[in-house]
Amino acid sequence: MKVVALVSGGKDSVYSMMKCVEYGHEIVCLATLQPPKSNSEVDSFMFQSIGTHVVEHIAECMELPWVAHTLQGKSISTDMGYSATEGDEVEDLCCLLQEVQKRFPEVQAVSTGAIFSNYQRTRVEHICARLNLISLAYLWRRPQDELMQEMIEADINAILVKVASMGLVPRRHLGRTIADLYPFFLDLNEKYQFHICGEGGEYETLTLDCPLFKKRIVILCTNPSAFGRHDCSNSVEDVAKTSFRAFTPVFPCRPLAKKHTISVSTKRSHVFRDQIVLSGVVSKNVSLTLAEQVHNVCQQLQDTLVGHDLSLPSVAFVHVYVKDMATFGAVNEIFAKYFPCHNPPSRSCIEVNMAEDVMMDCWAIRNSTKRKTLHVASISDWAPTCIGPYCQANVLNSSLILSAGQIPLVPATMQMAAQEHLPQCLNNVLGVLEALESNLRHVIAGILYTIEPQDSLADETQLLLNANLHHRDAYESDDDDSLDEDDINEKSISTQVQVPLLCITVAALPRQASLEVEFLALTHQAMNLFNPQSFQFQDDAFNSEWTIVPRMLCVGFCYLSSSLQLLDASSLRSHVLRVLGKANLVWKSLLHMRVHHVENSPDLTSLNVPMTFVPTHHISHKSSAVSVAIQVVAYDGELMETDLWLARKI
């Protein structure tokens, strides 16, 4: 893509340009927001202003055009979400990029050096969405120690031009390079939790040279000030450069298409405390056009939610089932008209064979403060972007994570991985969970969608999940000091050695993917406090596998053997009730059943539970041939959140 690089002069924005070139993009121009007076500093939540007067010389070093705009606005809208606000400094960014588009209409994307600031990232993404541009944030959520080492090894010559942290002394550290100070930064990190890349505002940098420069910046005189700033004058000089490596993209795999039929639940919705689930909704008239059916389904969802004093912005997760994956783009375009861009739902999508063009079910929560959304629309190395009205994950009641379906996309290129599809999917999920202070070992259940039968896939997934059992994260070190390693390992192993995993074969997946994974997980606080238990259960009719937290959570899968010709609803109810009893939960806490069936759909009307019937080609199970697999979800989020609060975990 043709890219404009937002450059402050510091190491992060420059290294982000290097990553753009590495991944095959072309930097067309540089752009900067400057303070009203040259070399002055403004009080901004969004932009680094110290050193921006040098960006013109960076553009000269790269032999590229430079576009600048003067900062006029203030930090007015300071909530995490952003909407157009007159007089806000973010609107200056919009003016800058509009000027770029006017002068360089071929520009398609914007590069930034954001690492951890959701505040900055969401505002850049907002402006990009308004201007139909793509946000590139290749440094997003990179571990700072690893990232700093990369920058140094990539020959970025950046000096400190401002310090504002314990341990950093202006006359001692201003003007020194990041390579020189890196060991000292590690020491400060150990002593004071110092951010190695300066993400906490500990210091600001100016880049003098990097492999993209055809000339380098030379400091002519320096003046370390008492206020921790390094004022300098500079010039540029020619320098020989070696070529910079480019990235070879990967390509998607071959599709596989099949077709099936569908059934509809008689109970439309169920409410338990602050949770509401709507069963599989289809158009009542299959003769309608695709667009009309999608509008009809979304309107039915909306009307049902309104009947419960809710609306579509209350939805945390949507399952989308389409008859033909080739129509997904058209479905998504209409979907975007109904669901909000701010705090959108998580989503998964598969192709199934049904008479209708589209079916949806959804999970909503009554109080928006009980829900946390992770929505990153920038392309990065972190996890696949979500540019449309859907997000990577939603957290309910500070406890349960609803992770969107992940296919094996390489995040930085948004192209399908050439091989190792399962590890790529899990790596994508890992990035999402770690951003929510969770991990793969906190997964409590999952569905694996494939386009070809893979009877060993669940076991392979389990092995990869178990590989994370003994790994501790940075966020565990502060509030887990009372637990030793054996306690932590025991809590993880009690769940993960047999996490309920359902593997089903469907007709097709988005982007012609061969695999999609959809996980439920617990936050770190919930996992640590509640210690969920996983187990298997069997009677004459069903095999099942579960994860439970007594009084709060019961999720799992019930399997009906193909040798049994008829699924008896009363037997299923009895089986599930026995498991709910083990979890000290009642039938009304059961939110939803998702019925995956190979042959005709079973008659489960008497259970009076919202159900989504999903026709599949094959259900993989290690014990025997299976004709029906039913996902069961019971959840008391209010109680789980209350106990977390009482334990001072939130």
Pairing of strands 134-136, 109-111: parallel
| 647 phi/psi in degrees, rounded to 5 | -85, 5
- Is pLDDT at 581 greater than 70 in this prediction? yes
Q: State residue 261's pLDDT score.
A: 46
Position 249 scores a pLDDT of 35
Give the pLDDT confidence score for residue 564 in this predicted structure: 62
583 and 549 in contact (C-beta within 8 Å)?
yes
**pTM for this entry:** 0.89
Tokens 């449309």, located at residue: 388
Phi then psi dihedrals of residue 479, to 5 deg: -105, 10
Strands (E), 465-617: 501-505, 515-522, 533-538, 542-549, 553-561, 590-597, 611-615
Band (374; pLDDT cuts 50, 70, 90): very high
**Two structure tokens written together for 96:** 């800058």
The predicted structure's pLDDT at residue 392: 98
Cite the residue boundaries of each domain of the chain with CATH code 3.30.1330.40: 269-473+484-646
The pLDDT of residue 300: 96
| pLDDT surpasses 90 at 552 | yes
Tens-digit pLDDT profile for residues 209-252 = 999 999 988 877 556 554 455 555 555 555 544 344 333 333 33
Q: How far apart are CA 296 and CA 284, in angstroms?
A: 8
Query: Where, residue-wise, is CATH 3.40.50.620 in the chain?
Result: 2-238
The answer to which of 45-59, 482-496, 595-609 has the lowest mean pLDDT is: 482-496
Compute the C-alpha angle 294/296/297, nearest 5°. Answer: 65
The string of pLDDT tens digits covering residues 248-299 is 333 333 333 344 445 555 688 999 999 999 999 999 888 999 999 999 999 9
Model pLDDT, residue 286: 86
Give the Cα separation of 210 and 208 in Å (integer): 7
125: confidence class by pLDDT, cuts 50, 70, 90: very high
Q: Which CATH architecture has domain 269-473+484-646?
A: 2-Layer Sandwich (3.30)
- Region 168-172: what's the mean pLDDT? 94
* CATH of the structural domain 2-238, one choice from 3.20.20.10, 3.40.50.11390, 3.40.50.1820, 3.40.50.620: 3.40.50.620
pLDDT digit string (tens) for 322-366? 999 999 999 999 999 999 888 899 999 999 988 899 999 999 999
